[in-house]
Structure 1
Amino acid sequence: MTRLAALAALLLLACTHVSSAAETTFSEEVPLWPEDSQVLKVGIRELAKERNAITHPSFLVYRPQKAPSVHAAILVFPGGGYKSVAIGPQSTLGLYGSDVCKWLTDAGITCILVKYRVPNTGCNWNKETKRHEQPNVPMALQDAQRALSLVRFNAARYDLDPAKIGVMGFSAGGNLAVLSSTAFKSRVYAPIDEADHVSIRPDFAIPVYPGHLTMEHKNKTPKAVAAQELNTDVVVSKDVPTTLLVHAKDDPTDPYYYSEVYARELRKVGVDVQVNLYETGGHAFGVRKQGADTDWWMDDAIRWLKKIEVL
């Protein structure tokens, strides 16, 4: 190993494991796909020409410091517009999702931070064509479904109740949480092992300022009509798990009516859904306090989790 490579390895190790009073650290990183799997090979080929692509998705396991009494887990999907996975140094979720996972692990919940493949692996905005586009292969959803499979299949190993595994996502990750909550009746990839024969239905869902939820994202016009129609990628049914939607009314990126349109359609089929709207907070507030109304969303979410008997 060269001196430069050794230094890079040491820096990576430091970034991964150094913590502060405000952080927690993950105990392991788990690859989602075997190296010889067709799903992984196709993804590598699709993303070959993309800069800064994540081609080898994984999840980070954050466990409560004390033995959990609730035995619940939440898979967290960061945002990034399906262009990146926003868990860098400036992320409002913390570096590698450490801040959102500290909040959850402090509540006794195992946090599974999912690093799904990007870019352009879900509905995304093309700046050149000024249109929303769909990927040739829904890699982000493949990764979400596979992560749910692996966590539930290994529930005993992680000291989890397999009936208390939920999803939470932010922005594009909120869209991925919605898709995970609605597209669970069939996988978007061919099963590859035993883990792919367990249920991929989340037991509850918390999409936070979710994006890509209306027909605006199918480039439908007029916009005023499209804005009130649920994106046809989202197929609701009475089997969708109980859902908490979190949004700020002054969100300039993903307007709060996205959550309202989705909630309206869930109620039509009898799904238990709650929408927590906050007057101020904007977009991408994550778990960072900023003196806005959204500073209270985490406390409200904990109360909801107690109401549905996850905690």
Structure 2
Amino acid sequence: MPNPLTALLYAVALWIPFANAIAADGPDLEQRRAEAMQRASATIQAEPVINYSQEVALWPEGSQVLQDGIKALAHETWAWTRPTYLVYSPKVNTSRSAILVFPGGGYKALAIGPSSTLGLYGADVCKWLTDSGITCILVKYRVPNTGCNWNSVTRRHEQPEIPMALQDAQRAISLVRYNAEAYGLDPDRIGVMGFSAGGNLAVLSSTAFAHRSYDAIDDVDEVSRRPDFAIPVYPGHLTMEHKNKTPRSIAAQELNTDIEVSSAVPPTLLIHAKDDPVDPSYYSQVYERALKRAGGSVELKLYETGGHAFGVRKQGKDADRWTDDALQWLRGIGIP
């Protein structure tokens, strides 16, 4: 368990690049950034509301996939190169189900610092889940630029040569399922949830499960990487705008070709606010339409107000209802 000073320094380091990336491709960048920082300064907390029980490395230290990532990110100032996950377990009334949570940050950082609306180290979202009997697995995937991201210099979206964030997500799903008995879980009740860029990662991990994004290295990789359900919350990078396709008005209504929809995609609940200024709600609407056409099971909860990055923090807005709606949806599919 980290001491308070280490936790604070680490969280601040993660927050700085996230603040720089929060709305990088919008015309009102500076205004949005100022508003985000103002909200953050009003909600800083020094200690998590609950503590995780263990931190688990995703990759063996000598594995090629880990070493390749360390090499690829060596030139980055704020690189997180050794991905892990944090295990938060229910104290009572466990449902034997788990949700892997992917925080946002624009694939530039992990938004789990002291000002995060998910809580420090994701503790707030995990408290909500564990209070509902669900084991929460907070995934600290590699960054930066490990998924589709905005290059503020070239003014274009870029795709990484190595999809490290997806590699980490797939590995984490298999690793949690591999350890299901040790964690007191049913291996058929393991889902994913992600926020913003993490929402994109939840979409990718629940659609790209047919092909592993790295070469198998051990018995863990023989275990299924398909999540049993998915809850992308204000997900980003879902349209062909993110492939730099023009005209943008048309590209905005086309699903990003990185996303492989089929009837095999697990049950999906999409969460979005209509007034989101960073990841517009039509991202989720385009994905919802594509999933329905493919015969997938999908529901979209679209809220009038809530903005972006509301996480699990109450704002007195319509989106405050999303956590209750998500639990109701989970009960509808047999979880918790």
TM-score (norm 1): 0.94
Matched, 1:255 2:280: yes
Tell me by how many angstroms 1:15 deviates: 8.7
**How many equivalent pairs are there?**
301
Tell me by how many angstroms 1:127 deviates: 0.1
Q: CA RMSD in A?
A: 1.7
Q: 2:127 aligns with which of 92, 95, 102?
A: 102
**In structure 2, what is the Cα distance between the partners aligned to 1:257 and 1:10?**
40
1:309 is aligned to: 334
Q: 1:12 corresponds to which letter in structure 2?
A: T
Q: 2:122 corresponds to which letter in structure 1?
A: G
Quick check: 280-289 or 59-68, which moved more?
Answer: 59-68
1:118 is aligned to: 143
Tell me by how many angstroms 1:201 deviates: 0.4
Q: 1:11 corresponds to which letter in structure 2?
A: L
Tell me by how many angstroms 1:108 deviates: 0.1
Tell me by how many angstroms 1:66 deviates: 1.3
SS at match of 2:137: strand
2:298 is aligned to: 273
SS at match of 2:154: coil
**In structure 2, what is the Cα distance between the partners aligned to 1:148 and 1:299?**
25
Q: 1:289 aligns with which of 314, 317, 326?
A: 314
**In structure 1, what is the Cα distance between the partners aligned to 2:118 and 2:106?**
15
Query: Is contact 2:241–2:251 with CA below 8 Å preserved after alignment?
Result: yes
2:84 is aligned to: 58
Runs of 4+ in 1 over 3 A off after TM superposition: 13-16, 19-22
Matched, 1:40 2:105: no
Matched, 1:154 2:154: no
1:11 is aligned to: 5
Instruction: State percent identity of aligned pairs.
Output: 68
Structure 1, gaps ≥5 residues long: 1-7
Q: 2:57 aligns with which of 23, 31, 40?
A: 31
Q: Deviations over 1:240-287 (max 9, x none)?
A: 000000000000000000000001010011111000000000000000
The change in CA–CA distance for 1:9 and 1:310 in structure 2 (over 3 A counts) is closer
1:172 is aligned to: 197
1:205 is aligned to: 230
Q: Deviations over 1:128-179 (max 9, x none)?
A: 0000000010000000000001000010000000000000000000000000
Q: Deviations over 1:177-203 (max 9, x none)?
A: 000000000100011110100110000
Q: 1:166 corresponds to which letter in structure 2?
A: G
**In structure 2, what is the Cα distance between the partners aligned to 1:67 and 1:107?**
8
TM-score (norm 2): 0.87
Structure 2, gaps ≥5 residues long: 11-44
